[in-house]
C-alpha cells in the first residue's frame, strides 16, 4: 500500500539525500520563484508608458507634465521588483537556512515557501503601474487637476504596496525567524 | 519657468532630497551600528545607483512618450529589465564585497522611492482634510 502512495515515496526519496544538499536545492528553487515577482513592475511600467504615449498623442502641449507623472509613478512601481531581487540574492549569497539545525524537510519547504511568498510582488508591480498609467491618462485629459491626480495616484500606490511588504515580511520570517522549525 | 524646466526641477528636487536623506540615514546608522565604513560605502553606493536609475528612467520615459503606445510599452519594459539587472549587480557586489554593508546598500536603493512618495503625498494637508471630511 505504501509503495503505491506517490507522495510517501517522493518524500522518502527526498530524505534519502544529504540534508544540506536538500536545503540548498530548495533555496535555489526559492530564489527562482522570488524572481518571478520581477515581472510585475515590468508589466506595470510598460502599461504606464503606453498610456503616457497615448496621452501625449492626444495632448502634445502637455507632454512634460504627462512625462513627469509617468516618471514618478513608474519609479514607485519598481519597488516590489527590488524587494524580490533582494530576497533571491539573500538565498544565493547569504542564506541563513543552510546553517539551521532541525528537520531538513521543514527547512527546505520554508526556503521554497519564502520564494513563493515573494511572487505576491507581481500584484503591487502591476497595480502601481496601472495607477501610474491611469494618472498619466487623466493628466492628459485634465491638466489643471494635476496636483490632485498625482497625490491620489501616490495614495493608491502606497496602499497597493502593502501586500508586497506583507510578502516580504513572511519571506524574511521564514528565513530568519522560522517558527515552524522551533515548533518541531 | 518653462515646461521642460518643471520636469527637470522635479527630478532635481527628488535627487537632492534623496541625497540629503541618504546622508542623514548614514549618520543615524553609523551612530547605532559598529560597521561604520561598511554602512557609509553601502548607503553611498545604493543611493547613487538609485539616483542614476531614476535619471535613466526619466530618459526612457521621455523617449517612450513620443512613441506609439505598443512600442512605448515594449521599450519601457526592456529598459526596466536593464535597470533590474543593474540593481542585481549592485546588490551582488555589496554582498560579495566585505567592505560594503549589504543592508545599507538596500536601504540606499529604496530611499528614492520613499522620497518620491512622501514629497508628493504629504505636501498638502487640505487634500487629506477633504478625504476625511464628513459629508453633509
Three-point CA angle B24, B101, A114, nearest 5°? 110
Specify the 3-state DSSP secondary structure of B125: helix
Give the fold, CATH level 3, of A21-95+102-183.
1.20.120
Q: How far is CA A149 from CA A9, A52, A170, in A?
A: 58, 14, 33
pTM: predicted TM-score of the whole model, two decimal places:
0.81
Q: Which residue of B has its CA nearest to A65?
A: B7
Give A177: exposed, middle or buried? Use CB within 10 Å, 0-12, 13-18, 19+.
Answer: exposed
Residue ranges per domain, chain B?
7-132
* pLDDT tens, position by position, A47-98: 998 898 888 888 888 888 888 888 888 888 888 898 999 899 888 888 888 8
Q: Cell triple for residue A127?
A: 497595480
Interface check for A46 against chain B (CB to CB < 8 A): the answer is: yes
| ipTM metric | 0.73
Cβ neighbours of B95 (radius 10 Å): 18
Phi and psi of A91, rounded to 5°?
Answer: -60, -40
Mean predicted confidence (pLDDT) in B36-48: 92
CA A180 to chain CA centroid, nearest Å: 23
Cβ neighbours of B63 (radius 10 Å): 15
Residue ranges per domain, chain A?
21-95+102-183
* pLDDT tens, position by position, A90-104: 888 888 888 887 788
Given pLDDT bands bounded at 50, 70 and 90, which one contains residue B100?
Answer: very high
Cα-Cα end-to-end distance for chain A:
28
Q: Test B6 with A43 for CB contact under 8 angstroms.
A: no
Q: Test A74 with B110 for CB contact under 8 angstroms.
A: no
**Under 8 Å CB-to-CB from A61, ≥6 apart: which residues?**
none
**B93 CA: distance to closest CA in chain A (Å):** 11
User: Rounded distance, CA A12 to CA A14, Å?
Assistant: 5
Amino acid at each position: 500500500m505504501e509503495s503505491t502512495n506517490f507522495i510517501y515515496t517522493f518524500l522518502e526519496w527526498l530524505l534519502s539525500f544529504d540534508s544540506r544538499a536538500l536545503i540548498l536545492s530548495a533555496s535555489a528553487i526559492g530564489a527562482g520563484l522570488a524572481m518571478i515577482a520581477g515581472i510585475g513592475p515590468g508589466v506595470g511600467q510598460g502599461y504606464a508608458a503606453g498610456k503616457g504615449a497615448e496621452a501625449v498623442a492626444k495632448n502634445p502641449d502637455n507632454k512634460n507634465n504627462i512625462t513627469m507623472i509617468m516618471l514618478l509613478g513608474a519609479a514607485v512601481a519598481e519597488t516590489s521588483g527590488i524587494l524580490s531581487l533582494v530576497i533571491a540574492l539573500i538565498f544565493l549569497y547569504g542564506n541563513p537556512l543552510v546553517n539551521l539545525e532541525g528537520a531538513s524537510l521543514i527547512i527546505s519547504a520554508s526556503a521554497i515557501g519564502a520564494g513563493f511568498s515573494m511572487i505576491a510582488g507581481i500584484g503591487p508591480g502591476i497595480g502601481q503601474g496601472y495607477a501610474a498609467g491611469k494618472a498619466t491618462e487623466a493628466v492628459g485629459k485634465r491638466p489643471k487637476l494635476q496636483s490632485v491626480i498625482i497625490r491620489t495616484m501616490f495614495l493608491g500606490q502606497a496602499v497597493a504596496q502593502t501586500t508586497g511588504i506583507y510578502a516580504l515580511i513572511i519571506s524574511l520570517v521564514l528565513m530568519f525567524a522560522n517558527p515552524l522549525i522551533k515548533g518541531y | 519657468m518653462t515646461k521642460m524646466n518643471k520636469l527637470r526641477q522635479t527630478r532635481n528636487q527628488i535627487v537632492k532630497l534623496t541625497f540629503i536623506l541618504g546622508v542623514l540615514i548614514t549618520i543615524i546608522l553609523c551612530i547605532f551600528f559598529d560597521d561604520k565604513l561598511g554602512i557609509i560605502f553601502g548607503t553611498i553606493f545604493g543611493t547613487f545607483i538609485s539616483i542614476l536609475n531614476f535619471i535613466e528612467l526619466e530618459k526612457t520615459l521621455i523617449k517612450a512618450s513620443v512613441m506609439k503606445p505598443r512600442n512605448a510599452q515594449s521599450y519601457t519594459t526592456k529598459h526596466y529589465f536593464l535597470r533590474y539587472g543593474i540593481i542585481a549587480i549592485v546588490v551582488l557586489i555589496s554582498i560579495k564585497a566585505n567592505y560594503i554593508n549589504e543592508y545599507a546598500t538596500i536601504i540606499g536603493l529604496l530611499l528614492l522611492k520613499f522620497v518620491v512618495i512622501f514629497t508628493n503625498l504629504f505636501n498638502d494637508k487640505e487634500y487629506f482634510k477633504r478625504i476625511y471630511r464628513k459629508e453633509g
